[in-house]
Chains A and B, each alone.
Chain A
Amino acid sequence: MNSIVSQSVPTVFGIRHLSPAGAWNLINLLDAKKPRLVLVEGPSDLTDQMSHIVRRETKPPIAIMAYTQKLPIRTILYPMAEYSPEYQAIRWAFEHKRECRFIDLPSGVFLAIAESRQQIDQEGEENSINVYQRLDELSGEDGHETFWERTIEHTCIPEAYLQGAREFGKQLRELTQGRESDWAENLVREAYMKRQIADAVKEGYAPEEIFVITGSYHVQGLLSDSPAMTDEEIKSLPCLEAEKTLMPYSYYRLSSRSGYGAGNRAPAYYELLWQGLSRQKPSHTTYSYLSRIAAYQRANGNMVSSAEVIEAVRLAGALAELHGYPTPSLRDLRDAATTCMGHGNFGEISQAVADTEIGTRIGALPDGVSRTSIQSDFYRLLTDLKLDRFRSVTAQDLQLDLREKLTVKSEKSAFLDLQRSFFLHRLRVLGISFVRQTQTSQDQATWKENWVLCWTPEAEIEIVEAALKGDTVASAASFQMKEDVETGGNIAAIAAVIEDAFCCGMPESVAYATSALQKMAADAANINEIAETAFRLSTVLRYGNIRKLDSTPLLPILDQLFLRACLLLPSSCLCDDAAAAIIVKGIDSLNQVSIDQEQLDQERWLSTLNQIAGRDDLNTKLSGFAAAILLERGCISNEQLSTEVERRLSKGVPAELGANWFSGLSMKNRYALIARMSLWESLDKYLETLDDEEFKRALVFLRRAFADFSPKEKSDIAENLGELWQVNVQQASEMLYAPLNKDEKKLLEELDDFDFGS
């Protein structure tokens, strides 16, 4: 231990990445030691990016990124927040005009290792012991995050931090030595870093003038006696060609990428810790966390009194004390806020917590610095799909034919248009204004698509922004759709995402959206929403194969929606006429779905319709419509129909109900209806039974029921009735088409004022 501070070796400062206490203690130690050379763990070929990092326009969070040029694109990312020790070290070096370098393996080597690592991982499950799990058990709290926070982040004595982090790294190393799958990689990295340090010493820096910042795990490795890497060894390292850039990062992305080094769960909270340390007042974090939650709640209309904030501060303190620590951890604070401001329900303050812990901060870079992997992926695809000529400021049309072209040789060109369509749809989903889809003349877009492509500088910016969503166009689109699903709100919106995912040719997104749809479908009670969703899914199922995608995962969910619709439908039919008009559409599309998808439970559908058709307490128009569908599908015989007509129109049934039923019945397959003599016989019998007053009543409704029949249909009906009444065709049509005389007109006008109360 003493050798570290002795004069012959450089200072090696072990840190935890993204650790505010690390950053603060580091700066203090740098100020004390004033080294001439600062070496930072990070790909050595990325040192030139440092000048961009310290520019005034650069606002963290940012990330250093390296990516391969060849497919499949691999990336490595080094995110940095304001409180990253690395970021603060680089800034310190530039401010004090000291030399600063990255000393880890070059990015190309990391990318090559990542590639081979993936192969190894596929071959066998990682067989390392889980240190963090044991740490969780031993610390007696919820996890190592809290342990870290309590023991490390609340430390504000630089030497104590240095020793503590070093000891932790040492023990972690002893525990896992040789047992972790990346053990070998760590040794190689340490050997390389040692070589870099040795080179610096050769350049003329005295060891004590060198300050190394590295993960606490590596401290022991760097200080050990194992040899530095030789030139030959460096040459033999695998290496991929890599592009390097800086990109803006976001707190949201930091929080969603958990795992050591890559992110942390509560970036905004860590920023509060950083502020607390900078003011040398650890309690600052407690107060500002809890007051921010209170402020958020108030801004969103929830009453939170100052007394409650005070109680939360006290409770958080008591919770920390229960574990023997003076400062509350994030978990203590959150639980205190839940208890005192959320009335015991985390749900009440969950949004405030997300805002306070994660935040919405997005980093910024000077213009022209960024050339991200998604940009290069975009240009590569543009060339690949022979779309280069569309990169001009004049709008150009592009028509795609998604079918396989049988005249060409290679499979690639046979499906070129389909691939283009996938690409363009992905850009559309990402909201990149380069592409715009226009309507096709085809009714239900099957194999033809029309696009308008137009390049603008804004489009370029939009693509850089999309870098936050993913490394490639495809992964960004997938992320976007995931977000759309989360904010979707209702099942129809999610069904739209499924359609999008199909258009983009992305089966994983289809699967994700489908499972989200399933979750939401359980709560959906609106019959029309369900019907619309089922209809959309059915469309995808019917036309999905033109896009060479397997749509079968949609079958179970369609099954479920259909079952739900069947169960809900009868009770939904208990409604007024205005609602009935909408439900008619729903029933119609459900029927269409059941016809298109034979595997669905047809028996249940028909029995549901039977139930609706047969029940007397539902809206009669819907009962009539259900009967019409059954008639169309050949499930009602002539006798059944005439029995039903008689029952529905029998004396005693209010005329408006009967007529309404008839109008429902006549909404479908009129031709078949008109041809059924038995129907008109029943109608005739019904009219016979009415007395004058009732007849007038019935007339009003029957007129309405027949109102949207065409003249031809009307005269056909008249013919039918004429036949029954033994009036010949000629006479009947003469009667029908003769202009009305005065008396008749008057009678009809009277009907318009018919008093239904009587």
Chain B
Amino acid sequence: MAAKTETKVQRLPAEQLFQKEIDALIAAEKDPIPTGWKMSPRSVLTYITGGKVGRTVITPKYIGHKRLVEIAISTLVTDRALLLIGEPGTAKSWLSEHLTAAINGDSTKVIQGTAGTTEEQIRYSWNYAMLISKGPSLDAMLKSPIYRAMETGSIARMEEISRCASEVQDALISILSEKRISVPELGIEVPAQKGFSVIATANTRDKGVNEMSAALKRRFNIVVLPAPADLDSEMEIVQTRVAQLSESLDLNAQLPPQEVVEKVCTIFRELRSGVTLDGKQKLKPTSGVLSTAEAISLLANSMALAGSFGDGTITDYDLAAGLQGAVVKDEDKDNVAWKEYLENIMKKRGSRWLGLYQECKELNR
């Protein structure tokens, strides 16, 4: 029965997907386990960054910045709330989901932050039919994920916190500092059990949407998640995701060869960081994010172009068109930066880059 439902669901929560690994880690546990946790901090670290327990291989969920994961876990040990900040596509929600999956075996206590999120969704709301017919009672109360997390002493997740209106963010302040929710309608107060905490995520590009107040920021330990650490890991991510995408989208083109992926990742990384990969030359970064996710969609687009209108292999022309669109957004500044990049960097890279350089130059006239 379980197997059947599995096939129908588009995406299982992390704790079900990696049930075996979690069970193996719990079984092999040797270190002390904090109250409310399912395993020790060290096992959580192994679960996220990969390793081996007995005969079970633990797949790495988050590659590269092991130290940041250590800081995140240590934060939760000290029952502080954790705020993960990063550019789009830096695996913030991914990390938060897996942290809760490993710590509580439950990653489903989530509030999705939007402009329409209300204070009730943070605290509690009512089943109004029941409220009118029977008056306020615990039965008529709809508890928010945070409320439930406080009751059970587990961790709640709050996605995209900076998208919420500031009064909604403020509701979190009292919860995080008092560690209790009062329900005046019922005359009760619910204290948080040991082990309660919140993992929030926020987007650096969305800073301006609803700037988080200093008061709220102070309630969190902030961990900034950077873009992939080096070219190889970024290429690895891009290649696997492009392969997955092309399968599900039926793009009638060959997968981009290593060289093309390397070129795109190189250009993206260099323009993103404002310095060449060898660190010798600084250059002007562009206004766009140029995230790993964008590199993936660029290559998928190029494949679609090649499959639908070309011979199925990605040419420099397809690539140049994609790059032009990704790098030069609407601003004049981007145009200058791209031109400079072409002349100062790409042109001097030699014959391997010549074709791409010429196509790009042609397009960027």
Contacts and interface: CB of A to CB of B under 8 A. Distances in A.
B336 A339 contact: no
A322 B67 contact: no
Given A522-B284, A563-B340, A571-B332, A335 B71 contact: yes
A553 interface: no
Contacts of B195: none
Contacts of B115: none
A307 B221 CA distance: 12
A232 interface: no
A305 B217 CA distance: 12
Contact of A339 (B218, B221, B274, B340): B221
B166 interface: no
Nearest to A340: B221
Nearest to A346: B224
Interface residues of A, number: 33
B70 A319 contact: yes
Interface string A312-343: 00110111011000000000000110011001
Interface string A584-602: 0000000000000000000
A142 interface: yes
A339 B78 contact: no
Given A523-B282, A567-B336, A319 B344 contact: no
A322 B224 CA distance: 20
A644 interface: no
Contacts of A322: 41-42, 45, 70, 73-74, 77
Nearest to A303: B214
B222 A339 contact: yes
Contact of B80 (A311, A335, A518, A522): A311
B218 A345 contact: no
Nearest to A564: B340
B232 interface: no
A311 B45 contact: no
Interface residues on B, range: 20 to 34
B282 A560 contact: no
B45, B74, B214, B222: most-surrounded residue (chain A CB, <10 A): B74
B281 interface: yes
Nearest to A320: B74
B343 interface: yes
Interface residues of A, dominant DSSP: helix
Interface in B145-172: none
A705 to B, nearest CB: 32
A290 B80 CA distance: 18
B224 A345 contact: yes
B221 A319 contact: no
A519 interface: yes
Given A322-B41, A322-B45, A315 B221 contact: yes
Contacts of B71: 315, 319, 335-336, 339
A121 B91 CA distance: 46
B280 interface: yes
Contacts of B223: 339, 344
A167 interface: no
Contacts of A519: 275, 281-282
B217, B221, B283: most-surrounded residue (chain A CB, <10 A): B221
A382 interface: no
30 contacts: A305-B218, A311-B80, A311-B221, A315-B75, A315-B78, A315-B80, A315-B221, A318-B41, A318-B74, A318-B77, A319-B70, A319-B74, A321-B41, A321-B77, A322-B41, A322-B70, A322-B74, A336-B71, A339-B71, A340-B221, A343-B217, A344-B85, A344-B223, A518-B282, A522-B282, A522-B284, A522-B340, A523-B284, A567-B340, A571-B332
